[in-house]
């Protein structure tokens, strides 16, 4: 079999894989995680479920592909927004609220890191790391943003709560100037005890 024939077959297989991820994402966005079955996704594509197993070993592999798609979409949302911490927080919140089922799939279970494309997780986090260079501060800011987002998605705040004020407080708490000031004060305390 010639190289052109192999490339052609690979291209068709890759197209079908992308189509399956797109169909799964539409189902996930519209109906939630319970709608993700190989049978439903295949029906969306007009094929039989066993055909999907040519492209995904199992449902977990398809979910991993959805998570990868979600991380890429999150990166694009963060990268397209304002580059300051407030802009990143606003873009993160908009993404989570616009895609609550995908966001939950991406964040409410262990991340299948070894199955994701190399560098994708770092790429998704890169806009935040550009603003908060200290990885511990960036991780803490992400954890706080995730907490606010998932609580908002699940309707866990009391009625009438000013959620924008909560997001503004997060930005204020992690603003690079404040972080730098806190680090300087900690350095002074440490030096005074030396």
Over residues 130-145, the pLDDT tens digits come to 999 899 999 999 999 9
Handedness of CA 44, 49, 53, 57 (dihedral sign): positive
Query: Which CATH fold topology does 66-176 show?
Result: Tetracycline Repressor; domain 2 (1.10.357)
Residue 13 confidence (pLDDT): 74
CA gap 89, 77 in Å, rounded = 11
What is the Cα–Cα distance from 10 to 12, expressed in whole angstroms? 5
Average confidence score pLDDT of the chain? 88
Q: Where are the domains of the chain?
A: 7-56, 66-176
Pick the CATH number of 7-56 from 3.40.50.300, 2.40.40.20, 1.10.10.60, 3.40.50.1950: 1.10.10.60
Whole-prediction pTM value? 0.83
119, pLDDT greater than 50: yes
Q: What angle do CA 29, 147, 89 make, to 5 degrees?
A: 80
d(CA 85, CA 120): 21
User: Residue 170 has what pLDDT?
Assistant: 97
Tell me, what's the pLDDT at 194? Answer: 58
């Amino acid at each position: 079999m010639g190289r052109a024939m192999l490339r052609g077959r690979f291209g068709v297989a890759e197209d079908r894989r992308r189509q399956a991820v797109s169909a799964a994402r539409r189902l996930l966005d519209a109906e939630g995680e319970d709608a993700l079955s190989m049978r439903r996704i295949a029906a969306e594509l007009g094929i039989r479920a066993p055909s999907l197993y040519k492209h995904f070993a199992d449902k977990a592999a398809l979910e991993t592909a959805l998570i990868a798609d979600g991380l890429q979409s999150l990166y694009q949302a963060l990268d397209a927004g304002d580059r300051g911490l407030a802009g990143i927080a606003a873009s993160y919140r908009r993404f989570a609220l616009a895609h609550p089922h995908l966001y939950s799939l991406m964040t409410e279970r262990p991340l299948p890191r070894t199955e994701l494309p190399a560098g994708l997780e770092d790429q998704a986090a890169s806009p935040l790391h550009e603003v908060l260079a200290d990885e511990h501060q960036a991780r803490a800011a992400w954890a706080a943003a995730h907490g606010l987002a998932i609580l908002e998605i699940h309707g866990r705040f009391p009625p009438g709560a000013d959620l924008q004020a909560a997001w503004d407080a997060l930005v204020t708490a992690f603003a690079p100037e404040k972080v730098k000031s806190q680090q300087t004060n900690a350095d002074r305390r440490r030096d005074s005890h030396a």
